[in-house]
Amino acid sequence: MSAEIKNIAVMTSGGDAPGMNAAIRAVVRTAVFYDRKVFGVVKGYDGLIHGNFITLNAQSVCNILHYGGTFLKSARCLEFKEKEGRQKAYDSLKSMGIDALVVIGGDGSFTGAHVLYNEFGIPVIGIPGTIDNDLAGTDFTIGFDTACNTAASAIDKIRDTASSHERLFFVEVMGRDSGSIAINAGIAGGAISTIIPESDITIEDLIQTLKRGTGSDRSTSLVIVAEGGHLGGAYQVAEMVKPLLPDYDIRVTILGHLQRGGAPSALDRVLASRLGVAAVEGLLKGAFDVMVGMINNAIVYTPLETALNSVKEPDPEDFRIAGILAI
Ligand code: ADP
Ligand code: F6P
């Protein structure tokens, strides 16, 4: 274990995700377990630039495991994208005697951590926390399971009213560049079709699929649309479909930020706990400029550069399954 790393800072950055608190707790308690001092950075890179630190101990993270959001707050910080901003952040870390930084966030936050390491040599390690599940180097990101559960339970409720009125619903889920939530929520919610950024489905394909079921109860159908879908969001897709299916009674629901909130699922709490422990243990063993993830239920450290330059493709098996089940 590295004797040089005595003081560790932890922060959350970018879009928040359920389970971030559980990850902070795991980082803090593991650092304390190994007799290290821990600081929390409030408001991500903005807090780093402005020296917004709080001292944390094992008690500071009592009773946060089960809460959504992040008690350290999160932020998006343009100043950190500039070299002067990162210089200020590095100066803040040094003035507090901080030797290493744990960043819980998504690809943007990891890009920032990677640049900080390259410019100043400060040891960094990333913990993937984003509902989008769009990071290579881990099977799942913290918050994804909870977001899928939230979306599935909302879709169940929409199905009740859709069925009563025999309506076609377009339900938009989050995923600016990734269809992970959409494809999973689509399978879990029994959608007839799912439109995601990574697919090439056309409006004609969609109309064919929707018409296929006419005559049964298929005028009651749910289509899941990822917000970054290649045909546009749910409103845009619904507008394209309306003139082609004039007999259908069409409605649109945008699930939005409710998918980012709520108590983390047990799976997300366990994932966050495992990754938090592994992040601190990794740092103490000299794993710098990497992201910690779980692949096939084992801890894996992936260089940030590799994780950031790899694209996580949706599993084609999910499309196959969704297609079979929607006949
Ligand atoms: P996420 O981490 O969820 O992907 P963002 O993309 O908003 O969220 O990134 C979070 C923060 O990471 C940004 O507000 C910025 O401070 C920092 N960041 C993102 N991209 C860069 C970059 N190219 N260089 C330095 N910092 C970056
Ligand atoms: O956390 C990722 C994400 O949920 C994306 O799917 C979405 O586009 C984005 O955050 C929206 O976040 P915000 O409203 O905070 O910019």
Asked if residue 295 is part of any domain, the answer here is yes
Asked if residue 326 is part of any domain, the answer here is no
Quickly tell me which residue has 């971030």 as its tokens.
20
Distance 109 CA to ligand 1 centre (A): 4
Q: Are residues 137 and 149 in the same domain?
A: no
Strand partners, 254: 172
Structure tokens at 281: 């243990």
Q: Are residues 16 and 91 in the same domain?
A: yes
Please state, as a whole number, how many other Cβ atoms lie within 10 Å of the Cβ of residue 155: 23
Distance in angstroms (rounded) separating the CA atoms of residues 80 and 85: 5
Q: Are residues 256 and 269 in the same domain?
A: no
Strands (E) across the chain are located at: 7-12, 37-41, 53-56, 100-105, 124-128, 168-173, 193-195, 221-226, 250-254, 290-295, 298-303
Q: Are residues 139 and 150 in the same domain?
A: no
Q: What are phi and psi of 126, to 5 degrees?
A: -105, 140
Which residue among the candidates 16, 99, 107, 132 is catalytic per the annotation?
Answer: 132
Distance 58 CA to ligand 1 centre (A): 29
Asked if residue 169 is part of any domain, the answer here is yes
Q: Are residues 278 and 230 in the same domain?
A: no
Which ligand places an atom closest to the C-alpha of 109? 1
Asked if residue 324 is part of any domain, the answer here is no
What is the tally of structural domains in the chain?
2
User: What is the reported pLDDT for 198?
Assistant: 87
Q: Are residues 282 and 231 in the same domain?
A: no
Tell how far CA 188 is from the center of its chain: 18
According to DSSP, residue 138 is labeled S
User: Using alpha carbons only, what angle is made at residue 28 by residues 33 and 11, rounded to the nearest 5 degrees?
Assistant: 150
According to DSSP, residue 170 is labeled E
174 Cβ below 6 A of ligand 2: yes
Distance in angstroms (rounded) separating the CA atoms of residues 111 and 305: 8
Strand partners, 102: 10, 125
Q: Is 132 designated active site?
A: yes
User: What is the reported pLDDT for 218?
Assistant: 61
Domain range for 291: 7-143+264-309
126 Cβ below 6 A of ligand 1: no
User: What is the reported pLDDT for 117?
Assistant: 98
Q: Are residues 131 and 152 in the same domain?
A: no
Distance 151 CA to ligand 2 centre (A): 15
106 Cβ below 6 A of ligand 1: yes
Asked if residue 321 is part of any domain, the answer here is no
User: What is the reported pLDDT for 229?
Assistant: 86
User: What is the reported pLDDT for 216?
Assistant: 55
Q: Are residues 101 and 248 in the same domain?
A: no
According to DSSP, residue 68 is labeled S
176 Cβ below 6 A of ligand 2: yes
Q: Are residues 114 and 253 in the same domain?
A: no
User: What is the reported pLDDT for 313?
Assistant: 86
Nearest CA to ligand 2 atom 1: 15
Single-letter code of the amino acid located at 134 = D
Distance 77 CA to ligand 1 centre (A): 7
198 Cβ below 6 A of ligand 1: no
Nearest CA to ligand 2 atom 15: 15
Strands 37-41 and 53-56: antiparallel
Q: Are residues 24 and 133 in the same domain?
A: yes
Q: What's the CATH number where 216 sits?
A: 3.40.50.460
Q: Are residues 148 and 138 in the same domain?
A: no
225 Cβ below 6 A of ligand 2: no
Distance 8 CA to ligand 1 centre (A): 21
Q: Are residues 200 and 293 in the same domain?
A: no
For every residue of 265-289, DSSP letters joined together read: PHHHHHHHHHHHHHHHHHHHTT--S
Structure tokens at 298: 């084992």
Q: What's the CATH number where 55 sits?
A: 3.40.50.450
Q: What is the pTM of this model?
A: 0.97
Asked if residue 2 is part of any domain, the answer here is no
Let me know: does 84 contact 49? Beta carbons within 8 Å.
Answer: no
Q: What are phi and psi of 184, to 5 degrees?
A: -70, -45
- Which residues of the chain fall below pLDDT 70? 1-3, 213-219
Q: Per residue in 94-107, pLDDT tens?
A: 999 999 999 999 99
Please state, as a whole number, how many other Cβ atoms lie within 10 Å of the Cβ of residue 266: 11
User: What is the reported pLDDT for 217?
Assistant: 58
Distance in angstroms (rounded) separating the CA atoms of residues 12 and 75: 8
